[in-house]
Amino acid sequence: MHDHTADLTQYEWPTCTACRKPLWENEYERQICRPCEDKTRVRLQELPGLFAQLDTTAALMRGASGGGAPTSGSKTPPIPPRLEVLNLVAAGGMATRLRDIEDAWRNRLGWTVAPWRGSPRQAVPEHVRFLLNNLPWAADAYDSVAQDVEDIRRLHAECAAAVANERKPGRVKTGLCPVRVDGQLCRAQLTAVATNHRIRCGTCGTEWGDLGAWRELRQQQDAVLAEAAGVAA
């Protein structure tokens, strides 16, 4: 006689492959539970907005120095070089990480790889749109979806942390004030934050209010350094 009691004691109730919690009875054929799917959907929906904020900050960083590198001879970048921000918005950052997930899903579905989406700014919304449209399928039937859910969670956390840091930016030194007051160099320490276009000298009151003015400031500082080097020579 077959022992059905033994069968029941050996039975393992299916669990979500992402959070490992038991699935509800109406979820037992799914790969991940509905709460994990819902959280992933919200994170995907928020990624384009987070990217836009970080891309604006990265543009300020690159524009202020005329291409991302300090002017020759200068020791202090005009605004903080936030590597975590630059890494997220550059090629190989958010857009590439989302593309890799899209390509994995396309491969499992038997579709061609993702078409070229353009720059990271153009690509992120397109990759997100694909993933949102196909998330219900992945949640139900893609046996490797748990890793992608974790990758999306980690990517969202990195972006949210970078944006939060921008909301509470620290000040960094941006060189000495090169303005002459009554024939004497001011030489007060200047500071800036990545989210503010304005640099103001607290001693002489001179302001540099946009990216063009920041480049002019850098040129003035380099001129003072060159003049000092000539005197020293």
> Model confidence over 155-195: pLDDT tens digits?
999 999 988 876 655 667 778 899 988 888 898 888 877 66
User: By C-alpha distance, which of 13, 15, 10 is closest to 30?
Assistant: 15
Least confident of 1-5, 104-108, 165-169, 179-183: 1-5
pTM check: above 0.75:
no
C-alpha 143/C-alpha 104 separation (Å) is 11
Write out the two tokens for 83: 């590597």
Contact 88, 158 (CB under 8 A): yes
pLDDT at position 86 is 87
Tokens 């503010």 identify what position? 196
Q: How many CA atoms lie within 13 A of 224 on its CB side?
A: 16
pLDDT for the residue numbered 211? 64
